[in-house]
Structure 1
Amino acid sequence: MKQRQFDPLKLDVEAFARDGGQLDGEWSMVDLPRLAEAAPPESPAATWPPLRWSVRGERVTPRAAEAQTWLHLEAEATVSLVCQRCLQAYAQPLAFARGLRFVRDEDLAAQLDADSDDDVLAMTRALDLRELIEDELLLELPLVPRHEECPEPLVHVDDELPEPAQDDKPNPFAALAALKGKGSKQ
């Protein structure tokens, strides 16, 4: 029997899982616009290494229960981010491996997702795998991007600030304090 061809940009999840399908490939990081917009100007997404991904479909039939549809998804990529300590661009590796369970509708997905540790999504006949992988990679981004160790020594802000100028002007709040003091003696 000839194996069916599946399009990762319009993946029929149910048929893919039923056939035990497997796909893998590479995409240019330019094709992931939400990740690409994190690129610093000196390191645009076009210069990043390609995203490598793989997906495997599976139908699981637990005892005395309805069959379950699963996608097992893995991806790895390297993006360029700006270190929040030294403000220099650096390469940040990202990787994930997830099992995603698909159910018949949004209501059931929301209920099962709240009740279990599994990631549960509603079934679709045209899943954009690239968009799903981009979502997962966005979740892998660090909250505060930074080098493990910055390549150049950090400059302490206190060292660069000039000493405050000594003025002969009286402090305006000292005059208010004096007025307040006069009012309390009466």
Structure 2
Amino acid sequence: MTKIFQPGRLDVAAFAQAQAAVGGHDPLQKYERLALDLRALEPDSMLKWQALGEHRTAADGSVRPALHLRAEADLPLTCQRCMGPMTVPVRIDRHFVFMPDEAAAAALDDESEDDVLELTPALDLHALIEDELLMALPLVPRHETCPGEVKLSAQDEGFDAAEADKPNPFAALAALKGRKPD
């Protein structure tokens, strides 16, 4: 009998022991925190993901339950140079090794090439995927070459000319200062 694993409450130890796989195609709207950083989402904006259970040798030499996560999506962002729309392809291919407690995970995390997490009986795989996507977003999204002309000035062409036409308010004071009292 094949056990069915639920991504919202994944038993990682059993998932790794079974060397099981889960995956799906989810609408990006499902990931609320990610959607806050994105430009207006199209209804057909999708995220494709897959998780594979496995055992991996941790940095301390022990064999631990692990998860191989792959995800990909084309994320609609705003170019910070021209403020126009752009699409950024994001691909995730990460391994997670699970330790019995938070202290053991923290101790091993700096030494490991894989991400090291605490083993929990009910991992929310969707939250982990969303975290990884958020970390994969570019800090300052921008086109390699913007499609239109980029306005690099905050003032109009006639700004300096308009300023030159105004009289200096201190000119009258200078004239008064220069006069000698009678």
Instruction: State the TM-score bracket (shorter-chain normalisation).
Output: 0.7 to 0.9
Other-structure match for 1:145: 141
CA offset at residue 46 of structure 1? 4.3
Question: What TM-score do you get using the length of structure 2 for normalisation?
Answer: 0.83
RMSD: 2.4
Name the SS of the counterpart of 1:23 in structure 2: strand
**Corresponding residue for 1:16?**
15
Q: Aligned residue for 1:120? A: 116
- Show the 5 A alignment for 1:26-175: 26-40=25-39, 44-47=40-43, 49-60=45-56, 66-157=62-153, 160-161=156-157, 162-163=159-160, 164-165=163-164, 167-170=167-170
Distance 1:148 1:135 in 2: 26
Q: Which runs of 5+ in 1 are unaligned?
A: 175-186
Cα deviation digits, residues 110-136 of structure 1 (max 9, x gap)? 110123332100001111111100000
Distance in 1 separating the partners of 2:155 and 2:149: 13
The amino acid of 2:49's aligned partner reads: W
What's the offset of the Cα at 1:15? 0.1
Runs of 4+ in 1 over 6 A off after TM superposition: none
Deviation at 1:160, TM superposition (A): 2.5
CA deviation after TM superposition for structure 1 residue 170, in Å: 3.6
Structure 2 gap segments, 5+ residues each: 175-182
> Which letter maps to 1:152?
G
Q: Quote how far apart the aligned CAs of 1:93 are.
A: 1.1
TM-score of the aligned structures, taking structure 1 as reference length: 0.81
Helix, strand or coil at the partner of 2:134: helix
